[in-house]
Structure 1
């Protein structure tokens, strides 16, 4: 799997890059991944030129190609004026100018850093609508790190949960189970015996289904994701 990290931090060292690296490492622990980092600050001049001449420079083009080819994205921005940074937004604006469907259907994990926890809703009020507009599939858990969060146990838990969700999403959408093999079941179960069902049930009739539906069961992604969450 190819995992691309887009970090819009401005400083060196950068807390934004630190959060991005921790999210990438946690995801790679769950599924083998080749990780590539895109530092947006290094592309600022080429991003500006893209808006004036309509063509991305070579480094920006390479970054866009990596993002488009990625199996999953981790995107992290510092917070300015209660929203994502202008450079972060400009990167994705320029990407959509060159390829409007570059993020369509792509799994995305969002992160943000700020000086105070009061800006934590930037994930839901600004970033999630942005990536919904770009037609990406955003994992349920976003990770916001305020200054006081570094070294706190709660941040580690959020990172682990979000990484697990991204790894599960990248693993694939709904899958088709082997006929006769339900979750926890064994291949070769008598046809017509579904979850909690009884022998003799009409083949092809699933949960709340209607006769004639195929015997193979489509497992929704939400159920796959719930099975990976830790108990409690």
Structure 2
């Protein structure tokens, strides 16, 4: 479903963010991406739908390298959800935000409405179609941001710090939502309790390289490894 092959990326100021990252994620697999700030987690996620392009190496979605020719299809297939939902929600109403992607796919109005209804159902936000996103709670806006990518019927979800800033009830609702979604998923997070509950596999990034890739239970049970990578349960 998703494969990175010897991925390297250096920012224009000379900062080396990714240094030879290779990984594979299969259909339906849920993977946590953890590590200290500056490890390269967000940079990696931004490569998955072509927001950033590698200096060397390759990103392949369903065995096809990302290119200018297929970038629109890739962005429909890989749903990127940013840490701050306000970076994703810009329309006057929830309906218009969730409908934006399907409309730009050229779908008929009935198909667009069907996709919006289904996506809002999936995130538990049906009935909020006419609400203004900026009048909603952070947890509600995060759910709507996820709905904006679900309406594109992606095969892969890439989420950056989805539980950041949520109160306990909203966080619990997010965990239940992530459990319920069938898509392959790679999620950057510092929330190790969420990792334990949702993600069977964890990848640790350190200084732009993979330091660990294996069962989450193995990582969480190893106090020395958690200390080494600056992770806390």
**Structures share fold, TM-score greater than 0.5:** no
Normalised to the residue count of structure 1, the TM-score between the two structures is: 0.33
More strand by share: 2
Relative contact order, higher structure (CA 8 A, sep 6+):
2
Structure with max Cα Rg: 1
